[in-house]
Amino acid sequence: MRLAVLGDPPDDCLRRVERAWPEATPVDQGPAEAVLAWTYDPEPLLDLLGAGPAPAWVQTRSVGVDPRIAALLQPARTVLTTGRGAHGAAVAEHVVVLLLTLLRRVPELLRAQSERRWLDPFELRELAGCTVGVLGLGDVGEQCARLLAAFGTRVRGLRRTARGVTDDPPEFPQLSAVYGPDRLAAFLTGLDVLVVAVPLTACTRGLVGAAELGRLAPDALLVNVGRGPVVDQDALVRALCSGRLGGAALDVLDVEPLPPDSGLWTTPNLLISPHCADRTPATDERFVAGYLDRIARYRRGEPLTGFDPVTGY
């Protein structure tokens, strides 16, 4: 059986896959019965799907799936599984680092050090006591909420399956409340920090625009680790340049890689990281462990679950 491997997984990963699935022969092109898409770039998978019959099973590295891929696979009844559960711990740590970098004005400190300037007075902000909103309570959002609550913040969350607002939800003990999509405005109002952790779907594209940013507390911070188009980047830039927002950090952008001539590079109080929040060996290990578990179940003929074509993730 041919297993198409897209991207460049570590050699150890392939060796473990070959041991777990001895009847599978890894190939890097051509038609295949199964696909491991190690790359986050959807184009190689789209090319493969357009070149031959649909595979029986596709495993992606990302959690959200390009709608073009889902549209090709759904009619063929291809099983589609994702990297759900592998990324949250690493991304949550990155969120905390970005927030503390903004609150503690680390870029200014580094500039002053490089110029041998002693900054006095130099006032900072604390994360403790902030009201934080986590938009999306999947693996990434839940892990973010857990870490941020440990800093003494008040954390509220918004999830697709919630109805209205639930105080002290037992499913998420680290949260003060969980809101449904119909309560987005109430969820955003007065937040000191907004963490965006939802995948890109038809419902989430442009979800956070000028009106939504205007509901945050003055001098609020925003971190986007979901997908770039969830946040209106033009509205975000205007809010930062006007001083309405105190700062923002983007690990995901509308266009990646970000072109050198993009105005985002020079936007005040904006941190940019190159979609690297989950690029850790531990993330790779969690992904491979999950994939090996699915291989075992696939070989036994057991059903695989993961991607929901209705929600898009």
Stretches where the chain sits below pLDDT 70 are 167-168, 306, 308-313
The verdict on 174 and 63 lying in the same domain is no
304 occurs within a structural domain: no
78 and 208 fall within a common domain: no
Same domain, 75 and 128: no
Residue 242 lies in a domain: yes
Report yes or no on 217 lying in a domain: yes
Helix 88-103 and helix 139-149, axial crossing angle in degrees, nearest 10: 50
> CB neighbours (10 Å) of residue 186?
16
Classify residue 310: in a domain, yes or no.
Answer: no
The pTM score is 0.93
Residue-wise DSSP of 5-59: EES---HHHHHHHHHH-TT-EEESSS--SEEEE-SS-SHHHHHHHHHSSPPSEEE
Separation in Å, CA 166 to CA 160, 192, 194, 235: 13, 20, 19, 30
pLDDT > 90: percent of the chain = 82
Domain count, the chain: 2
202 CB-contact burial (10 Å; exposed 0-12 / middle 13-18 / buried 19+): exposed
Q: Are residues 64 and 179 in the same domain?
A: no
For 237-282, give the DSSP string.
Answer: HHHHHHTSEEEEEESS-SSSSPPTT-GGGG-TTEEE--S-TT-SHH
| CB atoms closer than 10 angstroms to residue 274 | 12
Of 79, 91, 192, nearest to 136 by C-alpha is: 91
**pLDDT score of 313:** 64
pLDDT, residue 40, reads 87
Q: Which residues pair with 34 in a beta bridge?
A: 3, 57
**What pLDDT score does 282 carry?**
97
pLDDT for res 310: 61
CA atoms within 13 A on the CB side of 62: 23
Q: How many helices (H) and strands (E) does the chain have?
A: 10, 13
77 domain residue, yes or no: yes
Domain match, 265 and 290 both: no
- The Cα–Cα gap between 194 and 87 comes to 19
Q: Is residue 308 part of a domain?
A: no
pLDDT attached to residue 242: 98
- Looking at the structure, tell me whether residues 44 and 178 fall in a common domain: no
Residue 58 lies in a domain: yes
| Residue 213 tokens, joined | 């940013």
Q: Is residue 306 part of a domain?
A: no
Question: Could you tell me the residue range of the domain that residue 14 belongs to?
Answer: 2-86+280-299
Q: What is the pLDDT of residue 309?
A: 63
What is the structure's pLDDT at 270? 98
Q: Are residues 289 and 232 in the same domain?
A: no
Q: Catalytic residues, which ones? A: 227, 256, 275
CB 155 within 8 A of CB 176: yes
55 and 201 assigned to the same domain: no
Residue pair 203/211 in contact (Cβ under 8 Å)? The answer is no
Q: Classify strands 154-158 and 34-37 as parallel, antiparallel or unpaired.
A: unpaired
CATH number of domain containing 68: 3.40.50.720
Same domain, 289 and 193: no
Q: How far is it, in rounded angstroms, from Cα 1 to Cα 18?
A: 12
What is the pLDDT, as a whole number, of residue 91? Answer: 98
Number of C-beta neighbours around residue 111 at 10 A: 12
Question: Rg of the chain's alpha carbons, rounded to an integer?
Answer: 21
